[in-house]
Chains A and B, each alone.
Chain A
């Protein structure tokens, strides 16, 4: 432990234990506890208690006081548990009966503190923290605390009830851990190996679960089920099979009752059971129960169950097949012709006739289908063809088109313009693109998608989903007429959408174009279509959009279009695109009031530079980008600019054939030329300015690049320093370099005087102390880059998180009498 913290801790304890002081900031206690946790995990907690008697005094004093603030008491309970997490520590607590005092529930009940949920939660958390050894379990069982925990399992606070469940599971788990049982059975045949109170504790918990499940009180049943699922997923044998045997009967009753409000929790229980050995033993009826949940498809709740069952990972295939059949029924039913309608079950028909349940059922059906499609988990006996047709029909119905044969159905009227179903249907349609069997439906699919894109009624969120579906279908199954479709059908719609009144739509359209261009990169037909369709000019005009988000997306789209076109630079239109793009992007970088577009511009340059084709074309603009990007007030623009600089350095220095080349010249000369080029680009200004930036990530990145540069310069023996002289006057970084330089010189001079040295090689540098020009290698040496890098790595948050700072804050807040009113931010 930090000695500063050690010295502050007694004072902090005094402040916290003082009932006259109002408790510190709501997060301070939590952070203090985090620190204790860390401390405890690093060292022996006993040492902490022995060396810090103030902690025991603090806990004792809080327990004596009946006027303690609930927040302080809660903290104390948690802390006590944490500090009593080893046997030795527990003994220290136990010596004066302190532990019993702390966790005596009645004591807190008397002074109403127990009424505060934070106290109950602290009490549980304290026990949870402590339960790391046998003595802790002995303490819990011996003091009758299991009963209290079981009561808290039905607490009015969700948080407390949940914590109680966790603690109960931890207790059960602890009882079965090898160090407790020596490999013997806790609740099985070798009960004798355990203390009787422990055996009765586990029975008490398990009986409580059975009792809860048999209860008529809905919240109690729900809590019982939650505990059961937690036991199943966290505990091992023999707990789970013993408990399962006991709960099976009430569980069967609950399953057969089919209460809607319990379905989710029951499925969670059964899902947990699926992951246990219970599944393989038929007498435990796991599969039977799941099947009972589904029923024969004639119960209102069976669809919800089916939707949950198809998502289960370890579910037996037969059941999944049955659930799949059931969950697809609503979709099939809505899109079925009248002659087959007779077969539809009455419950489903009734459900589909009401709007809310119709929409909910169809969404369950669609999302289950999408889920199944993702995992390619569709069965042979289900026709993917007819299912896809149903989805298409459903999407048509949502946009008001319906075959006359289905016009009579209520579902049609419920579905018109229903965004929820549209979004869900489009997701599903996109997911179905993995099936090659339905390629013949492609025309219909694109037809529906195009209708959605064209429809003036399409909601922005629906359009976004449509774009996603279109992209998936184009990428997954490119077809011969794809380019025809794109240029004749898709582009005109997209051009229209880019003029949509809603920024959300314009943005999604541009994002889609970017993704499409990336996906079809290298497809010359597509690039040509981009140019000939007039799409490029629409993209360029979007660079001036009123909305910053849209401008940023337009920059990305134009960037991608330029990259795609760079492969066909022979086309005059392509180079024209680059020229226009450069002009407008530079304007954005220098003038745009929002960060996103500026960030996008620098990113576009980086991506172009990575692509290599455009290096020469970009050379003229690069210095402006580096200078503008480096002086931006948005640190992320600066970061992206440094990334651009990094790519530029890599490309120029390492990557042939694009590196600086001068045949016949030496490596050193080439390196020097590269550095001169960087100098002309203003790269060094960027790096040095960024090194002294007020934002840490910028400094860190710049420092890393400079270290790289220093390594390279050091490795190059015959570097011509005279060609790499930088002017260090008149700028911020230069002043800093000069200051450090002078400091070093002074230090050297004083060493020389002490040693009586008058003339040396370094001595010749002394004359430079007033100079305005210093060579790059010299600057790189002057700056203690390694030290800076270390400091930048060490430097953490803007918010000081050290325990010392936290304790100082607690103490100063206590001394500061004036209350600063809590406010929002």
Chain B
């Protein structure tokens, strides 16, 4: 039976790095190629030796599809393409292609700074990798090869995030990547056709959560920032250069405008311009409100947010600073944090997840004394964390309600959950199976799920055969009303055609052969062979009243194509062997007669 196989190398029952291998219709596709930031050795990358031991990924994979620019979805891409070796096509949307190298570069710069870091990609590798990327437009069907096609749908989540439909013949899979079913300040909600895929692979980060309104979280955020600034404190918001930063910038910009606030807002590093440039460039990927107001005023041209200089950190008075990186593990954000940590009037707001070992992770877990090793400017010792620490998740994932909503939209035949925690997935799996009566799978990393499909095979029908069918007075062919048709299927030159048997014989240069079934029935009958045949004739005449039955002088009885003969041996003349033979068209009648005669003749 044809099947679709899914093997997660990452994101199987975890929220680490996404890397999912799908085999469909003889094609192998890798969905996302993420990195785990929590490790600083080879464990951060998926182990590609499980795909192919000789590192010949180009031969094995038909394509790689990246859903969006977050590093847990694309961070291992240069490693895979340039270090392990993959020369085939990589697909991602235009914004992802533009933004992905910025984040990869950003991360590389942090990583190579670490001591003893080996086996990491270079700038040149990131560039060479990006040269292999084929950009996707939304709703445009892209033919990877003759059989494999892909189509991207809007996923919300971050700028350029896409869900992808993968189709081979009539089999299809939809991979959601990360998505968001409710619009936020700068992005719209995810949307997909009622494409009824054989399998929908969905993220399930918030599988059991019905999230509170984002408005509440935003209000809370603004309140906290405002209060801190009002009391003369400084607010540090560690962010990654792209993504959430822009959303929060819009939020603060609007608030500052409305409240006529004067405290300065800064954004560190030169990435702001570049980041905002991309948001302007890909304005069509943002939400309706931003697109509408774009003509009057570009939301990404901020009036209140200015570029940050290192010396500003020492300025007196309140200020808000967005600084990279987002986990407080390096560079500007860490530097500012060290300066401001000792003052309880200040506040740090962590708007994203932090991996273990980072200062961000430590302070989110409530550590108040940090051992700072290291930099020449910092006196080595303990740093007292007196400033307020807040965690505010603005992440844009679909919650349980959103996931169910997407299932209703796409109407998949099967469901597979990834990018979530096992316990939460279990809950959602039950819910999905109950509500939609479809199978739901949740493979762990390294486990393969096989989904049996029932693909329809397109066949061309010859015009003659259609005409003949119509001549028989049946209804005209209609795709929505399936009906049975008889013909001969010719499989030749990679095509399938249904033609009349005569045409098939002619085309293939074959002569017709008759296929007959034979059967022997033994009877005890103390009469001569001829008499027995006569008794059979009479018996059949009485049973098969509507049939024409002939008793031919050469010693046979004929009913339709069925021929009946009687023989006996000299040693045992009473044991008659009745020989029945019929053509395949009369299979039913032939079987009936053999059963009938086995019961014996009436006395």
List the interface of chain A (C-beta within 8 A of B): 24-28, 30-31, 70, 116-118, 156-160, 162, 264, 268, 353-356, 363-364, 420, 423, 460-461, 464, 504, 507-508, 549, 593-596, 633-636, 691-692, 694-697, 699, 703, 732, 736, 788, 791-792, 794-802, 804-806, 808-809, 812-813, 815-816, 818, 820-825
25 examples of A-B residue contacts, CB within 8 angstroms:
A27-B39, A31-B357, A158-B447, A264-B53, A423-B87, A692-B377, A694-B310, A695-B113, A696-B113, A732-B311, A736-B377, A795-B373, A796-B374, A798-B113, A798-B358, A799-B40, A800-B371, A804-B371, A805-B371, A808-B362, A809-B356, A812-B366, A820-B364, A823-B15, A825-B70
User: Residues of B contacting A797 with CB < 8 Å?
Assistant: 40, 114-115, 357
B72 touches A824 (CB 8 A): yes
Q: Mark contacts of B370-412 with chain A using CB atoms, 8 A cut-off: 1 yes-contact digit, 0 otherwise.
A: 0101111100100000000001010101000000000000000
Q: Which residues of B from 293 to 347 have beta carbons under 8 Å from A?
A: 310-311, 326-327, 329-332, 334-335
User: Residues of B contacting A820 with CB < 8 Å?
Assistant: 353-354, 364, 391, 393
Q: Mark contacts of B50-73 with chain A using CB atoms, 8 A cut-off: 1 yes-contact digit, 0 otherwise.
A: 101110000100000000001111
Chain B nearest CB from A144 CB (Å) reads: 26
Q: A504-B131, A694-B335 are in contact. Are A825 and B352 (CB under 8 A)?
A: yes
B444 touches A157 (CB 8 A): yes
Write the chain A residue with the least CB distance to B209.
A821
Write the chain A residue with the least CB distance to B39.
A27
Q: A800-B373, A820-B364 are in contact. Are A595 and B395 (CB under 8 A)?
A: no
Task: Tell me the bound Cα distance from A808 to B368 in angstroms.
Answer: 11
B444 touches A118 (CB 8 A): yes
Query: A-side binding surface: helix, strand, loop or mixed?
Result: helix
Chain A nearest CB from B127 CB (Å) reads: 5
Chain A nearest CB from B191 CB (Å) reads: 21
Q: A694-B377, A825-B71 are in contact. Are A158 and B448 (CB under 8 A)?
A: yes
The 4 closest A-B pairs by CB, nearest first: A823-B353, A27-B38, A795-B374, A159-B446
Other CB < 8 Å A-B pairs besides A26-B16, A797-B357, A804-B371, 10 of them?
A118-B444, A355-B146, A464-B131, A635-B113, A694-B375, A695-B113, A798-B114, A798-B330, A821-B395, A825-B326
Q: A822-B205, A824-B353 are in contact. Are A25 and B38 (CB under 8 A)?
A: yes
User: Residues of A contacting B357 with CB < 8 Å?
Assistant: 31, 797, 799-801, 805-806, 809
Indicate if B147 sits at the interface (CB-CB under 8 A). Answer: yes
A356 touches B147 (CB 8 A): yes
Write the chain B residue with the least CB distance to A504.
B131
From the candidates A268, A420, A504, A798, name the one contacting B110 in the complex (CB within 8 A).
Answer: A798
User: Residues of B contacting A736 with CB < 8 Å?
Assistant: 377
User: Residues of B contacting A798 with CB < 8 Å?
Assistant: 110, 113-114, 329-331, 334, 358
Q: A355-B146, A633-B269 are in contact. Are A813 and B375 (CB under 8 A)?
A: no
Chain A nearest CB from B129 CB (Å) reads: 11
From the candidates B53, B127, B444, name the one contacting A507 in the complex (CB within 8 A).
Answer: B127
Chain B nearest CB from A20 CB (Å) reads: 15
Chain B nearest CB from A318 CB (Å) reads: 23
From the candidates B43, B353, B366, name the one contacting A815 in the complex (CB within 8 A).
Answer: B366
Chain B nearest CB from A639 CB (Å) reads: 10
Task: Tell me the bound Cα distance from A354 to B393 in angstroms.
Answer: 53
B393 touches A823 (CB 8 A): yes
User: Residues of B contacting A464 with CB < 8 Å?
Assistant: 131
User: Residues of B contacting A26 with CB < 8 Å?
Assistant: 14, 16, 38
User: Residues of B contacting A354 with CB < 8 Å?
Assistant: 494
A801 touches B40 (CB 8 A): yes
Q: A158-B50, A461-B132, A799-B329 are in contact. Are A825 and B374 (CB under 8 A)?
A: no
User: Residues of A contacting B447 with CB < 8 Å?
Assistant: 117, 156-158
Chain B nearest CB from A733 CB (Å) reads: 10
From the candidates B70, B367, B376, name the one contacting A788 in the complex (CB within 8 A).
Answer: B376
Write the chain A residue with the least CB distance to B147.
A356
Chain A nearest CB from B314 CB (Å) reads: 10
A812 touches B376 (CB 8 A): no
User: Residues of B contacting A692 with CB < 8 Å?
Assistant: 376-377
Chain B nearest CB from A674 CB (Å) reads: 26
B113 touches A699 (CB 8 A): no
From the candidates B38, B50, B110, B355, name the one contacting A162 in the complex (CB within 8 A).
Answer: B50
- Give the total of B residues in contact with A, Cβ under 8 Å: 88
Write the chain A residue with the least CB distance to B272.
A593
User: Residues of B contacting A356 with CB < 8 Å?
Assistant: 145-147
Task: Tell me the bound Cα distance from A159 to B132 in angstroms.
Answer: 30
B72 touches A691 (CB 8 A): no
Chain A nearest CB from B369 CB (Å) reads: 9
List the interface of chain B (C-beta within 8 A of A): 7, 14-16, 36-40, 43, 50, 52-54, 59, 70-73, 87-88, 105, 109-110, 113-115, 123, 127, 130-132, 145-147, 178, 205-206, 209, 240, 269-270, 273-274, 310-311, 326-327, 329-332, 334-335, 352-359, 361-362, 364-367, 371, 373-377, 380, 391, 393, 395, 397, 421-422, 444-448, 493-494
A821 touches B393 (CB 8 A): yes
Write the chain B residue with the least CB distance to A160.
B446
A593 touches B146 (CB 8 A): no
Task: Tell me the bound Cα distance from A816 to B364 in angstroms.
Answer: 8
Chain B nearest CB from A794 CB (Å) reads: 7
Q: A159-B446, A798-B110, A812-B365 are in contact. Are A825 and B331 (CB under 8 A)?
A: no
User: Residues of A contacting B446 with CB < 8 Å?
Assistant: 117, 157-160
Chain A nearest CB from B212 CB (Å) reads: 12
Q: A460-B131, A596-B123, A696-B375 are in contact. Are A823 and B352 (CB under 8 A)?
A: yes
User: Residues of B contacting A264 with CB < 8 Å?
Assistant: 52-54
Chain A nearest CB from B438 CB (Å) reads: 22
Q: A799-B355, A823-B353, A825-B72 are in contact. Are A25 and B114 (CB under 8 A)?
A: no
Write the chain A residue with the least CB distance to B205.
A822
Chain A nearest CB from B103 CB (Å) reads: 9
A824 touches B110 (CB 8 A): no
Write the chain A residue with the least CB distance to B371.
A805
Chain B nearest CB from A418 CB (Å) reads: 9
Q: A507-B127, A816-B365 are in contact. Are A25 and B335 (CB under 8 A)?
A: no
Q: A593-B274, A822-B421, A823-B393 are in contact. Are A792 and B376 (CB under 8 A)?
A: yes
Task: Tell me the bound Cα distance from A694 to B334 in angstroms.
Answer: 9
Chain B nearest CB from A729 CB (Å) reads: 15
B43 touches A30 (CB 8 A): yes
Write the chain B residue with the least CB distance to A363.
B59
Chain B nearest CB from A274 CB (Å) reads: 15
Chain B nearest CB from A671 CB (Å) reads: 27
Chain B nearest CB from A193 CB (Å) reads: 36
User: Residues of A contacting B147 with CB < 8 Å?
Assistant: 356
User: Residues of A contacting B132 with CB < 8 Å?
Assistant: 461
Task: Tell me the bound Cα distance from A796 to B372 in angstroms.
Answer: 11
Task: Tell me the bound Cα distance from A507 to B129 in angstroms.
Answer: 13
Task: Tell me the bound Cα distance from A96 to B273 in angstroms.
Answer: 66
A594 touches B380 (CB 8 A): no
Chain A nearest CB from B293 CB (Å) reads: 25
User: Residues of A contacting B334 with CB < 8 Å?
Assistant: 694, 798
A461 touches B146 (CB 8 A): no
Write the chain A residue with the least CB distance to B325.
A798
Write the chain A residue with the least CB distance to B68.
A824
A799 touches B358 (CB 8 A): yes
Chain B nearest CB from A591 CB (Å) reads: 11
Write the chain A residue with the least CB distance to B26.
A356
User: Residues of B contacting A804 with CB < 8 Å?
Assistant: 371
Q: A696-B113, A697-B113, A824-B395 are in contact. Are A31 and B444 (CB under 8 A)?
A: no
From the candidates B73, B240, B361, B445, name the one contacting A25 in the complex (CB within 8 A).
Answer: B361
User: Residues of A contacting B14 with CB < 8 Å?
Assistant: 26
Chain A nearest CB from B407 CB (Å) reads: 21
Q: A692-B377, A694-B335 are in contact. Are A816 and B115 (CB under 8 A)?
A: no
A812 touches B362 (CB 8 A): yes
Write the chain B residue with the least CB distance to A811.
B365
Write the chain B residue with the least CB distance to A795.
B374
Task: Tell me the bound Cα distance from A464 to B129 in angstroms.
Answer: 12
